[in-house]
Amino acid sequence: ISLTALVDLFPSVQRNQNSIASQWFSFFTIKIGLAAEVGYGYASASFHQIALKDTDLIERKTLGRRDRLLTAMAGMVLVGMLSLTAMLRPNPHGLGTHQRLGFPPCSFLLMFHRPCPTCGMTTAWAHLGNGEAAAAVRASLTGSLLWILAVLAAVWLLGTALRGRWFVVAPNRNAAAWISTSILVVMLVEWAVRLSIG
């Protein structure tokens, strides 16, 4: 099976071997066993010729200057968010801390007199930023988990930008999907519990 015609449709992938798009393209073609990367181009290969183990090109690729800049910017945005919420004084009611940033009150709460699924998240971030883990979990378990993920993501992004290659682990769509789904489930369960006891 050959992907020569398909590759010809994406000359940018061939020209820029260090871009994130190129890395994902290489990852996709290698993992499903349709093509093998050779030098700066692609060559067709039969299924039995491709080793499916230890062929993760994403981890071996060096990121280009533009990609390193983008990962650094993303990491700094997260650091800025974490630093900002750490300077906030948490609302003693467990929600509404976002109003200290100039945002309006929760519309869902005003209309239905019940917290929305995201109520308390900013308060949880503010508590965690001040080292108050128990208060953060009481304010929002989901928000607390997102704070932890934000810290890990910031370290990962900045480490990647400094290293020029993926730091510790490479992007994994399956892992991202599982984490996102788990956070969503936790948020919905937490919201249901709040509604039932509210």
Tell which residue, 105, 89, 108, 120, has the closest CA to residue 187: 120
CA distance 164 to 23: 13
Strand duo 41-44 + 35-38: pairing:
antiparallel
pLDDT, one tens digit per residue, over 134-178 is 999 999 999 999 999 999 999 999 999 999 999 999 999 999 999
Are residues 195 and 114 in contact, defined by beta-carbon separation less than 8 angstroms?
A: yes
* 129 touches 82 (CB < 8 A): yes
SS3 42: strand
HSE-CB of 101 using CA atoms within 13 angstroms = 15
Q: Is the pLDDT of residue 115 over 80?
A: yes
Of residues 71, 56, 89, the one with CA closest to residue 154: 71
Q: What is the pTM of this model?
A: 0.68
Length of the chain: 198
Q: Which residues of 48-65 are buried (b: 16+ CB within 10 A; e: fewer)?
A: eebeeeeebbbeebebbe
* H/E element, 44: strand 41-44
| Furthest CA-CA distance within the chain | 64
pLDDT in tens, 122-132: 999 999 999 99
Instruction: Read off the pLDDT of residues 34-68 as tens digits, 9 standing for 90 and up.
Output: 333 333 344 444 444 444 444 455 555 788 999 99
